[in-house]
Chain A
């Protein structure tokens, strides 16, 4: 691990971990609803089946998405330098993410509002393609955080770092970047189909399970290549290898449990994989936040110390987080409990009831 000129404070370290936690929450939770949404046009053979699929994530996807917004907001509040350089540096990829989030966000709410097949198919494809874009871009993004985005001080304000050369767009699509993108899509498809198998019954359930078996093969293969490549691109020592083994074990367990039709355990296993993969990635982002010096110095000039807010701001934010994160977790868990039942075509009312 790299030693910084100034040691990070406890609060800086804490907020780096908290932001990692928010990202993990986002990847685990919205990871499955991206996977499910990508599959709507493929796993639903008729409208009722498609509605079963949509309704498994209908009540929860919006709350899941807030994890991303909170990760963004927390980055802005705790590490303004990180937020400023990252969001302007990845201008076009983030625009793609926004487009994906917009078209999928509108799709769930609007598909049910009109019975025509063409209308519904259009929104199903919007949900599917939107989710695919977001998953792909974030996969490419995280792979690039592992490599490190090259930054240099801006010519006018030497305190602001800029990703160089700008625009930094085609450089993102190295073989490792692309591998990251494809791997995350495969992982979300696996994770999502396991969620679908867990939340459905009847034919949709069987089809989701069968798909998960195939998606699992692909995810295991790509995951293995990606995790091994990561150890060579940015080695993090023994800990990195431990996390690799745990991540891989999660994937294999998920595949095995799915084969046994143990849907809950299978879903938890992919969640565990996402957890360990994310920990591994954030480990490589410490303390440089996924940046590197464009001039070639060992340390990233933009790091957990130089990008951070003041201790005062971090303190009040910590108080808020300590109080409200448990509350959010409590009512979010309660929501999953309320909607715990499996859904099947027999649960779908014939007409979409014209009411809220």
Chain B
């Protein structure tokens, strides 16, 4: 395998792995902040117990997101040095701003939150988790602006003297239409995941407690807390689910405009159709040559892509042919216009087939993403329906639903990312720089291979430890709490220490 292929795999593996922890960090921090706020305002002990319980699970997850995130920031320079040089004038800024505005906020205030229970007055301590949570969202703004720029490189010009892309406006980069819709989409899916997690864990405990014939006073308290959390999680999951659908729909229309090939690839739509049917699933090959069986819904793809039921959706074959002949992906995009000559001269995309992403991957990841999202929403609705009539019955079905509630949106997000990144191929910067021209020339295949094996071993070992810890505390359930007080005696034991 070439260094480029290995570097692609390395980026894929480390990024997908890192992003398992990101949605929970972003959204669970906020849900915990909400729980703690209710506790501070009402003094309800139940809310303090929930805060500490989900807070601990959040921290186990946060540590993993933190250490795997450092790899991400280094990886651009390590594996993709020509990319870093070519786009650094634009792409580096959001990364630096992310560190300065978001990482400091998150890290410092998480530290204050963990260790500050008996050092800070109640309301100041509450503010720390809010600030940390806001930090995670600021981080999302910048990193998604950076990624959206790779999908739709706005606010930039090509400078032939330095042979690189240069920034014309940071505001254009941050207000990229792709970024503006990707941000709420990703945040919504993060809340689906965290909502599903709160729901799943509480619902699982609830069903166990429902079996107890004569619950003790403590068990009754637990039931009350878990019932609240199950419903809360379900509402978050459903609300975020609706937001995910709406933002996803807008995303589809913008994608059709700035990345029509990705839209066609999502559907394995080989020839242009008007009106275009939405393919629910296909059995057979996806190369357009042989279709054994498929279910299609007429006109739906036209609506998804263009907003009208008779809109034209361009197919893979005509697009690839025209691109290879010199058609620009976004004719109004300044960087794509100016770098067109450079792209042709590279000779990397001379044939129409060079312009086509991996269709089976884009087709199926797109469907699995949506399917998992709808599944999670269905579970949320089912749980709310069940709880109307009292406590749930413990059953294998219930347990598997509780597992699926967080895992479906979590994996849905992974498939969504794989779709959006694979659908951008062969480009690393859409219409400007092919991935093949972006790697580090000085890094050999064996270096990438060696580090990839070691990353995989380390990440695998970390997963075992983190999942074991997560399961341990998940099963322990709600902790007993003492009302935290600000310590004044220097020799008194702390109420919390590592």
Contact = CB atoms under 8 A, between A and B. Distances in A.
Given A94-B74, A102-B68, A80 B493 contact: no
A88 B443 contact: yes
A250 to B, nearest CB: 27
Nearest to A350: B493
Given A80-B89, A313-B93, A110 B103 contact: no
A200 B496 CA distance: 17
Contacts of A160: 81-82, 85, 441
Given A102-B67, A156-B441, A72 B74 contact: yes
B453 to A, nearest CB: 11
Interface stretch (B57-65, B185-193, B267-275): B57-65
B108 interface: yes
A80 B443 contact: no
A166 B444 contact: yes
B476 interface: yes
Contacts of B111: 58-63, 335
A78 interface: yes
B498 interface: yes
Interface string A319-340: 0110011001001100100110
A108 B88 CA distance: 34
Nearest to A86: B77
B441 A154 contact: yes
**Chain A contact residues: over half helix, strand or loop, or mixed?**
helix
B163 interface: yes
B181 to A, nearest CB: 24
Interface string B100-115: 1101110111111111
Interface stretch (B166-174, B202-210, B312-320, B410-418): B166-174
A231 interface: no
A263 interface: no
Interface stretch (B48-56, B254-262, B358-366, B420-428): B48-56
A65 B164 contact: no
Nearest to B451: A95
Nearest to B48: A355
A309 B92 CA distance: 9
A355 B443 CA distance: 45
B168 A312 contact: yes
Interface string B474-498: 0010010100000000111111111
Contact residue range for chain A?
Answer: 35 or more
Contacts, number: 292
A332 B442 contact: no
A159 interface: yes
User: Which of A98, A102, A159, A163 has most B Cβ within 10 Å?
Assistant: A98
B95 interface: yes
A306 B119 CA distance: 50
B111 to A, nearest CB: 4
B88 A77 contact: yes
A167 B52 contact: no
B162 interface: yes
A339 B442 contact: no
A310 B158 CA distance: 12
A126 B111 CA distance: 20
Contact of A91 (B166, B447, B497): B447
B458 interface: yes
Interface of B: 51-52, 55-56, 58-60, 62-64, 66-68, 70-71, 73-74, 76-79, 81-82, 84-85, 87-93, 95-101, 103-105, 107-116, 119-120, 159, 162-164, 166-168, 170, 440-444, 447, 451, 454, 458, 462, 465-466, 469, 472-473, 476, 479, 481, 490-498
30 contacts: A58-B111, A59-B114, A62-B108, A62-B111, A73-B96, A76-B92, A76-B96, A77-B97, A79-B88, A80-B89, A81-B88, A84-B440, A87-B77, A88-B81, A89-B442, A91-B447, A91-B451, A109-B59, A113-B473, A157-B82, A160-B81, A160-B441, A164-B442, A312-B166, A313-B93, A316-B167, A331-B104, A347-B497, A349-B494, A355-B56
